[in-house]
Amino acid sequence: MSTQEIEIKVPPVGESITEVVIGEWYVAEGGHLAADQNLVALESDKATFEIPAEQSGVVTRILKQAGDTAAVDEVIGYLRPAEASAGAVPAAPATPAVTPAAAKGPAAAANSSGHVMPAAERLMSEKNISADSVTGTGPGGRILKEDVVRAAAQPQPLLAGNRETRKVTLSPIRQTIAKRLVEAQQNAALLTTFNEVDMSAVKALRSTYRDAFEKKYGIKLGFMSFFVRAVVAGLQQYPQLNAQISGKTVTYFNYCDIGIAIGGGKGLVVPVLRNAENMSFADIEQAIIEYADRARKNQISLEELEGGTFTITNGGVYGSLLSTPIVNPPQSGVLGMHGIFDRPVAVDGKVEVRPMMYIALTYDHRIVDGREAVSFLRLVREMIEDPTRLVLEV
């Protein structure tokens, strides 16, 4: 190593994390960057982190390519500071060393103008978009994630007879999601119970106070805050659903840390509302909006994902009618919300069309009996159908 070069190391990113996967290098070998400019993205099993440059300079060597694994404190490249580079002829960016080893299929090779960045590769896989239909705007014609987003917004032509396949390595977050879901199925006695909720009262309340709420707090009044408050009431009355089992020991929590499942840029994340029992409707809505925005930007921190005591997931935002949510271990319960659809129902002996939502509670039968589970779900329904109770806490 030249005495004029400084090491680019993997910084500590969490107590339980010992290694990361290299994501995108934002600057190729020979490329210049300014101080505090993002240099490389790192992916752990829970979140994505970006390493900024400590000072301006030139990236002289990249030791770990996108898709490689690196340990905490391991050197992954070298940077020559700007003062050491003064008078030197800047190296022209060569072919960027950013293509993951797994990207040897058509998606990486189809576009002759440049390489496909890892984030763009994953998004193309999710959207089923061919690299041939994406115009790269990055240095050297590299296809960036933004290019794929733009291409996805355009109508995609049907490729008659196209039978190509691509293999993409699961991101660390997706690997963790898969591992935890399988773990939940294998290590817990899961059972799901269902109910349905008439959303008429909540919709009427939102309609009446929508403008006043938004004027006072600067945010819209959504459905999730009603369900969070209803769940808190249920957990306080049926503490088995706010508990965790470990061997022969059950831990009951006197607080409600509610995880809210949110679809993020790297996959599903479940940030936690700490002490939700003390949060107002506005507090809940504001926190969820901020989490959703940062999840799209992959900016949720590890601390915000850890320690939930119960989870709420809303498949209704994607149009789901009914599903069986999976418990997020080691929690003992998860509430699944679904879409609101007009259906004919019996009301006081008459058939009326009402906005109805199916709700589902999956619970760990090892510590939660059917009586508590069904009663909990019924209480949630009653609170939503008479939301005044949520305000009066009765």
Whole-angstrom CA distances from 183 to 91, 241, 306, 328 are: 49, 19, 17, 9
Give, for 342, the enclosing helix (H) or strand (E).
strand 340-347
Nearest to 355 by CA among 338, 342, 344, 345: 342
369: annotated active-site residue: yes
Which residue in the block uniquely carries the two structure tokens 């309340």? 205
Task: Tell me how far apart the alpha carbons of residues 335 and 356 are, in angstroms, rounded to a whole number.
Answer: 16
Task: Tell me how far apart the alpha carbons of residues 262 and 220 are, in angstroms, rounded to a whole number.
Answer: 18
| Angle of the 118-127 helix axis to the 145-152 helix axis, nearest 10 | 20
For 387, residues 6+ apart whose C-beta sits below 8 A from its C-beta are: 201, 202, 205, 226
Q: DSSP label at 230?
A: H
Q: Chain-centre distance of CA 250, in angstroms?
A: 29
Which candidate in 32, 68, 283, 365 is catalytic? 365
68: annotated active-site residue: no
Which candidate in 36, 73, 132, 369 is catalytic? 369
Angle at 234 between CA 196 and CA 242, to 5 degrees: 120
Q: DSSP label at 12?
A: P
Task: Report, as residue numbers or ranges, the catalytic residues.
Answer: 365, 369
